Chain A
C-alpha cells in the first residue's frame, strides 16, 4: 500500500486505533459521571423529601418512600429509644407486621444492639427469611440527633430484582441515619408535639 497525502497506511491505522481507545476511555468516564450524578440525585431527593415533610406521619411516609424508591425494599420498621426504661418503642412499620416488635429492648438482637452501640449493621447480600426476623435484616441504622442515638431504622428484605446492596446505598444509609430523626423532631415541634 502506498502513502496518501504523505501519511503511511500503518501510521493511519495506528492513529485510528488510538482514537478508538480514546473514545472508549471517554465513554467509560461519561458513564461513571452519569452514575455519580445518579447517586447524588438520590441523596438530594432523600434529604429534600425528608426535610420537606412538616408532620410526623408525612416524615414516616417519606422514609417508606425513600426505602422503596431509592433503596429497593418495601419492608422497614422505625423505632425510638426510650431512655427511661431501656426499651425501643415502635414508631411505624411498612410491609412488616407491627406485632413482631411488641417488646424490644436496647441491647437485644440486631436492632437492640444498633440502638445500644450506635454502629450500623449492614448485610451486603440482603436479608432473607421470615420478614421482621433478625435474619431478614438488610440494614439496621442508628438514627442520630447530633451524636446521640435516639432511634433505629431497620430495613428488611430487598426487592427480588434488587439483588444486593450497591455502593450508593451506603451513602443513602448515612443520609437516613443523620436526617430521619431531625426531620421527625422538627415535624413534631412544628405540630405542637402532636402526631
Chain B
C-alpha cells in the first residue's frame, strides 16, 4: 500500500522539529517547506495527501499560500490544516474562508494534531 505523504510548511525550525517528531511513528512520509512560496511549489511537485501550513511565514504567508493552493488544479482538493499562533476568531475565519479544512493553535498539542491528521486522511 502506498504511504501517504504530508507536507509540513513552517519557517520555525523548532516547530518543524516537533511536527516531524510527532509524525515519525505514524505511517506517513514527511516533506518540508520553509516558506509559503516553497510550500506551494512543493505541493504541486510532490502531490502530498495533506498539508500542514503555518500562518506566519516569510516571502508568502500561510493565508496566501492556502489561497494559491486552492486555485490550482493539482492541490484544489488536498486537505489543509492551518497552524496559528493566535487562536483569535478572525484568524480562524480567514483560514476557513480561504479553504483550509481545519486548524490547530501553537503550542501544538500532539494528540490533537494527530487526531486531525488521521481524520482528514481517513485513517
Contacts and interface: CB of A to CB of B under 8 A. Distances in A.
Contacts of B15: 45, 65, 69
Contact of B111 (A34, A46, A65, A70): A34
A38 B23 CA distance: 10
B21 interface: yes
B57 to A, nearest CB: 13
B98 to A, nearest CB: 20
A162 B87 CA distance: 9
Interface stretch (B27-35, B69-77, B102-110): B102-110
For chain B, the bracket of interface size reads: 20 to 34
Interface string B1-35: 00000000000111101100110010000000000
For chain A, the bracket of interface size reads: 20 to 34
A164 interface: no
Contacts of A161: 86-88, 105
Contact of A44 (B21, B105, B106): B21
A62 interface: yes
B121 interface: no
A162 B110 CA distance: 15
Contact of A69 (B21, B86, B88, B107): B107
A66 B14 contact: yes
B114 interface: yes
Given A49-B14, A160-B88, 10 more contacts: A34-B110, A34-B114, A45-B21, A49-B17, A65-B15, A69-B107, A74-B85, A160-B87, A161-B87, A162-B107
Interface of A: 31, 34-35, 37-42, 44-46, 48-49, 52, 62, 65-66, 68-72, 74, 159-162
